[in-house]
Amino acid sequence: MRTTELLAPTLREIPAEAEVISHQLLLRAGFIRRETAGVYTYLPLAMRVLKKINQIIREEMDRQGGQELLMPIIQPAELWQESGRWDVYGPELFRLKDRHNREFALGPTHEEIITALVRSEVSSYKQLPLLLYQIQNKYRDERRPRFGLLRGREFIMKDLYSFDRDYEGLQISYQKMHEAYTQVFRRCGLRFRPVEADSGAIGGSDTHEFMVLADSGEAVVLFCRKEGCDYAANVEKAAQVIVAAGHGEEPKLLSEVSTPGVHTVEEVSAFLNVTPQKIIKTLLYETEKEVVAVLVRGDREVNEVKLANALGCLHLKLSGADTVRSVTGAQVGFAGPVKLNVKIVADLEAATIVNAVTGANKDDTHLINVSPARDFSIDIVADVRMVQAGEPCPRCGEALIEAKGIEVGQIFKLGDKYSKALGAFYLDESGQSRPVIMGCYGIGVTRTMAAAIEQNNDKDGIIWPAAIAPFQVVVVPISVKEEQQMAAAEDVYNRLIAAGIEALLDDRPERAGVKFKDADLIGYPLRVTIGAKSLGSKQVEVRVRKTGEVLMIPNDELENRIGELLGGL
Ligand code: ATP
Ligand code: MG
C-alpha cells in the first residue's frame, strides 16, 4: 500500500471534544471519525487493526472448539419479554417499531437470540457441549457515551455462549474461555490481568473481568504483589481479611459527650482525640424494601456492591438529610447504632470494635465506649467495605497493590437462568429433560483497540504492539523527487512485501519532517528511512518507534532483521 492511495487524514490539532488520549490519537491519526455521540466510522487504518484483533480472537476461539455464526442485530421484543429483560434492561436498550407497530430491540447482547436458537436446534445430550460465537456490532444507549471507542453506543463485540449438560461441563467451558482470553490479550501485546469481579445480587456465580492496565482506566483493581500469587480482583469484589481490633479489651462505661458542630470522622477524631480506627461510622441507606444502617470503621468506605449483595436488594441509595432526621432524630453526622430502630448491617471489622465512638442520634452529641452486643445488636455482619491498597491479600497475606484498568473482556457463568426462562432443555442419557447450563463471554473489540492506545503512546503519538499495528513498517523516502531514492525505496518496499511483511510506502511529495511526524503519530512499529546517504551505502536505516532507537542494518539482511525486530515488539 502507498500513502498516496490511503485514506488516513491526520490532524495537527488536538480535537476539543476528546478527553482521553486514545480518543485524541484515534481522531488525530486518522483512524476514526464521529458521526454522532458514541457512534463512529472506522477508517481504513482502524479497520486494519480491528481485522487483526478479530483474527487473533477467531484463532483462539476456534482453538478451544468455538464455532462462529452470525445472529441478527434486530431482535424481536417477544424474546426479551420471555427472558424478563424487556422491562429490566431499561433505557440502555435501543427500542424500535416496524411498520406494523411490532416492537424490536437493537441487540446489546445476544443471550435471548442464542438461547432461542439452541432451544429449537438442540434436543439431546449428544449435541452438547457447544461453544458458539460471533463478532458483531452491539447497541447500547449508554447514559454517558464518552472517551471515544472506550464507551460507545455502537461498538464491536465478540460474544461467545457455552452450552453444557451440567455445571461440571460449564466449569470446563469457562476454563477454556479463561485460557482463550488470556491468549487473545497476550497476543495483542497488552499488559492485562484477569480479575475476580462481582456477579450481581442475583446469581452469585463466577465471573472474571480482563483488565488492560492503564492509568486512564475507569475500573480500580487490586492485585497481590507477591510473585506467583495470582490473586486479583476489582475493587467491588476484593475481599477483606480481618485483623480483629478490640479483642481482649474490656468494655468501659458507655457515656454521652457533647460535640457541637463536630460532624465528620476527622472532626470527631480531632475533637475527642481518638484514632479513626476507634470510630464507628453509621450511614443510612434506602433499598426498595427498607431503610438500613450500615456500620464501618471510621477510616473505611462502604462498598455498595457488597452491601447490596449482603442485603439481597436490587436498588440502594444513600439516605438524604430528611430521612436521616426522621430515622435518627438528628442531623447528618450524629447517627449511631445505639437505640436505632432500623436493620443494622455491620462490616466484619466494625463489628469487632470495643469502646468505640459513635453518633448519639442526637444533634451535637456522640457516645463513647460503645461496644457491640452490650449496647446494640447487629442484624447482619458481612464484608461491606472497600478494601484498600496495602491490605493483606486474602490468599497469601502479602500486601495488595492498586491499579487502574480498562475492562476489555468479561467471562460469566450464567447457569440455567436463560435456558429455564426461554425453555432450552435437552434429554439426558436416561431420557430426563434438563436445562442446558450456559456461560457467556464477551470481548470489546473496539474497546480493545482504544485500550491498546491508552497503554501504548507517548507525546508523539501511538506506539502499536506489532501484532495489531495497521502496518508493521513504513518506508519513507526523504525526497520522492529524487528518482534514485524513490527507486531504492520501492525496492525495499517490494522486498518487504515479498517477505510477507506488511509495509507501507510513504510516497507523498511532502517534506521528510511531515512524514516522520505522521509515522510517529500513526505509530507504525518500524520506520525505514531512505535518503541520499543510504544510496551508496550497504546499510539501511531502521528506526524503532517504541524506543526511538536507530539501527543500521545490512541491506542484504533487511527482511530477516526486520522480521526479528517485529517479533520482539
Ligand atoms: P461496562 O461495565 O464497561 O459498561 P459491561 O460490563 O456492561 O461494560 P459486558 O456486557 O460485559 O460489558 O460486555 C462485554 C465487553 O464489551 C466489555 O468487557 C467491554 O469490553 C465491551 N463493552 C461493553 N460496553 C461497551 C461500550 N459501551 N463501548 C465499547 N465497548 C463496550
Ligand atoms: Mg462487563
* Radius of gyration for the chain, computed over Cα atoms and rounded to the nearest angstrom: 29
Per residue in 383-421, pLDDT tens? Answer: 999 999 999 999 999 999 999 999 999 999 999 999 999
DSSP letter for 394, please. T
Cis amide prior to 465 (ω within 30 degrees): no
In a domain, 95, yes or no: yes
Whether 372 and 486 share a structural domain: no
What is the Å distance from ligand 1's center to 278 Cα? Answer: 41
Ligand 1 atom 11: residue of nearest CA = 410
In a domain, 31, yes or no: no
Q: Is the CB of 157 under 6 A from ligand 1?
A: yes
Q: pTM of the prediction?
A: 0.92
Ligand 1 atom 6: residue of nearest CA = 410
Domain count, the chain: 3
In this prediction, residue 532 has a pLDDT band, given cuts at 50, 70 and 90, of confident
In a domain, 7, yes or no: no
Contact at 8 Å (CB) between 189 and 468? Answer: yes
Whether 370 and 408 share a structural domain: no
In a domain, 90, yes or no: yes
C-alpha grid cell, residue 384: 461491606
Whether 116 and 176 share a structural domain: yes
In a domain, 100, yes or no: yes
Q: Is the CB of 319 under 6 A from ligand 1?
A: no
Q: Please check the confidence at residue 203 and state whether its pLDDT lies above 60.
A: no
Give the per-residue pLDDT at 55.
98
Whether 113 and 179 share a structural domain: yes
C-alpha grid cell, residue 263: 460532624
Give the per-residue pLDDT at 151.
96
- Alpha-helix residue ranges (DSSP H) falling in 188-303: 265-272
In a domain, 500, yes or no: yes
What is the Å distance from ligand 2's center to 22 Cα? Answer: 20
Give the per-residue pLDDT at 219.
93
Contact at 8 Å (CB) between 400 and 392? Answer: yes
CA-CA distance, 202 to 308, in Å (whole number)? 10
Whether 209 and 143 share a structural domain: yes
CA-CA distance, 312 to 384, in Å (whole number)? 13
* 3-class state of residue 272 by DSSP: helix
Whether 189 and 309 share a structural domain: no
Give residue 519's Cα distance to chain centre: 30
Whether 88 and 194 share a structural domain: yes
Give the per-residue pLDDT at 171.
97
DSSP letter for 127, please. G
Domain C-terminal end among 454, 485, 518? 454
What is the Å distance from ligand 2's center to 83 Cα? Answer: 19
- For position 415, which CATH number holds? 3.30.930.10
Structural domain that includes position 412:
42-238+401-454
Whether 410 and 291 share a structural domain: no
In this prediction, residue 245 has a pLDDT band, given cuts at 50, 70 and 90, of low
Report, as an integer, the average pLDDT of 302-325. Answer: 94
What is the Å distance from ligand 2's center to 459 Cα? Answer: 31
Q: Please check the confidence at residue 538 and state whether its pLDDT lies above 90.
A: no
Contact at 8 Å (CB) between 331 and 324? Answer: yes
Ligand 1 atom 8: residue of nearest CA = 407
Q: Please check the confidence at residue 243 and state whether its pLDDT lies above 90.
A: no
* 3-class state of residue 41 by DSSP: strand
- For position 551, which CATH number holds? 3.40.50.800
Whether 363 and 508 share a structural domain: no
Q: Which residues contact 88 (CB under 8 A, 6 or more apart)?
A: none
Per residue in 500-521, pLDDT tens? Answer: 999 999 999 999 999 999 999 9
What is the Å distance from ligand 1's center to 400 Cα? Answer: 26
Q: What residues are paired with 105 via a beta bridge?
A: 75, 95
Q: Is the CB of 442 under 6 A from ligand 1?
A: yes
Q: Is the CB of 141 under 6 A from ligand 1?
A: no
In a domain, 243, yes or no: no
Whether 268 and 351 share a structural domain: yes
Domain C-terminal end among 382, 417, 438? 382
Ligand 1 atom 2: residue of nearest CA = 407
Whether 491 and 441 share a structural domain: no
Interior/surface letters 286-309, b for 16+ CB within 10 angstroms, e for the rest: bbeeebbbbbbbbebebbbbbbbb
Per residue in 164-176, pLDDT tens? Answer: 999 999 999 999 9
In a domain, 30, yes or no: no
Whether 98 and 221 share a structural domain: yes
What is the Å distance from ligand 2's center to 412 Cα? Answer: 9
| Mean pLDDT, all residues of the chain | 95
Minimum-distance ligand 1 atom for the alpha carbon of 209:
18
- Indicate the top mutation candidate among 153, 157, 160 to test ligand 1's pocket, ranked by most ligand atoms within 8 A of CB: 157
What is the Å distance from ligand 1's center to 22 Cα? Answer: 17
Report, as an integer, the average pLDDT of 321-334. Answer: 95
Give the per-residue pLDDT at 247.
65
